[in-house]
Amino acid sequence: MPGEGLSANQRAMDYGDGTVDVLYGSRGGLSTARAEAWSQNTLEGRPRYYDRFGSALAAGDFNGDGRDDLAIGVPGERAVQVLAGSAGGGLTRKGNLLIKGEGSDFGAALAALPRGGRFRTLERGEAWEQRGGSPQGLVVAAPGQGLVLYVPGSRAPGLRLGRVREIAKGTGLYGYALG
């Protein structure tokens, strides 16, 4: 039973240093042949029991190179770790990015914004389209503070994101879940 044995002041996701396991699909379905396991140890971080590495995930092309990147919430460190997609498929720690934020639980919920729409800040160009189109933005929540923030993608080479800015604020656990 989820939550069994926890006191009234504890929640099951509040504890644990975390690992993210990535399985890749094929025409035949999911396969463990190329599975990857990511943790703060593999990313030169220092895991602590309360970091909650991997408590939220969002995949998207955040740098516009045509390959999906992976954003990993680390709300215990008030951070989001972003891994770049590699040319050969999969993810790489080369050039990974750590986004630090405000609030005690920044990174507790994540979502990738689709290309286009209200928050697209980068222009599309012919040369850019040939490399995969404009980058996607990342939405990050800090629900303990009721904050939902936007981090625009960047067209700069490598994995770089724009300046974090607030897009909404609410009461309670506003932003606890994003979709």
pLDDT digits (tens, 9 = 90+) for 42-82: 886 677 777 889 999 999 888 778 888 999 999 988 899 99
Q: Measuring CA to CA, which residue among 140, 147, 74, 75 is closest to residue 110?
A: 140
Q: Is the pLDDT of residue 5 over 60?
A: no
Task: Give the predicted TM-score (pTM) of the model.
Answer: 0.78
pLDDT value of position 125:
38
Residue 2 pLDDT grade (very low, low, confident, very high; cuts 50, 70, 90): very low
Asked which of 12-16, 54-58, 59-63, 175-179 is least confident by mean pLDDT, the reply is: 12-16
Share of the chain above pLDDT 90, in %: 13
Asked which of 13-17, 62-66, 93-97, 128-132 is least confident by mean pLDDT, the reply is: 128-132
